Structure 1
């Protein structure tokens, strides 16, 4: 019976909805940090980048980094850490953080031993920044941070 239901139920109508995906500014009085990374598995060259904008969408500050590293995840964490450090150094709070890495989102809420020291450093910075919300966004809404990361990967140290 289960087989019959599965085989003969494949004519259901599926509806799709187009949705525009774009960066959204933070609420009035907040800053928003977006970070991303770029990584070349063959050369082990990585780049990171990010920017902080205000509630009007105005660029406040940004950064790029270049590093040889052993993994894409390592580069993603480095980019995230550098963005948090930049926000703290410039006293840009209250802060909302957006990343497009589900891996990093999961690592931040786990006790992964492979990156434990780096993740602890990130958590400490988050705490110093008032424990801002870290949200996941689609890559399309993180385009500026992506371009900065690609630029960072493309330059020599």
Structure 2
């Protein structure tokens, strides 16, 4: 198991080969299409991080998971985290988004697509107006972290296209707290990775 500092150091070294020589200095936050049913890779020089949350009512806990992949569909990193509280469904999705965007930032990636299967959350992230509800405060936290990227866009995908992140979130029930896999996922999730990539054009 890696510490987050070790992961970040390793990822920054790994990431240099994916950096483009010039990046626009102006932050660009955009949006991407809504409602795809299959995972699609990002454009070259971007990474896509898929995230999801799960609630384990029987153990009064929740889980979040995310996977970062490049334009070839190769895994850059993945993680799962167990949270010792059973959140509401919409809350755990927003927390998963926040933790995912913090994770991909800590690893040094700067051109990112953040993708999840909660349509309401993705719409809230794309909205320009501020939302002061408890859920809205989590959304604002995501947007705040988003300001640290050269480019960050939000994309919705249906559950069928988000199976890797979904199963990472469910895997959180099996771990004590936080676990990271560099360029990999847990072995029982490999089949979901393969099903994403096999039909790519």
TM-score interval, smaller chain: 0.7 to 0.9
How far apart in 2 are the matches of 1:82 and 1:59? 18
Unaligned runs of 5+ in 2: 1-35, 178-201
Tell which deviates more after alignment, 103-112 or 82-91.
Answer: 103-112
* Bigger Cα Rg: 1
Quote the residue 1:133 is aligned against.
153
Correspondences of 1:36-115 after superposition (within 5 Å): 36-41=52-57, 43-67=59-83, 68-108=85-125, 109=127, 111-115=131-135
Q: SS at 1:133's partner residue?
A: strand
Unaligned runs of 5+ in 1: 1-19
Q: Is the 8 A contact 2:56 2:86 kept in 1?
A: no
Q: Is the 8 A contact 2:54 2:92 kept in 1?
A: yes
Aligned-residue Cα RMSD (Å) equals 2.0
Describe the superposition over 1:103-152 as per-residue Cα deviations: whole angstroms up to 9, x where unpaired: 21233225151223322211111121235110111111111001101101
- In the TM superposition, residue 24 of structure 1 has moved relative to its aligned partner by 1.0
The number of aligned residues is 138
TM-score, with length taken from structure 1: 0.78
How far apart in 2 are the matches of 1:94 and 1:128? 10
Q: Is the 8 A contact 2:55 2:87 kept in 1?
A: no
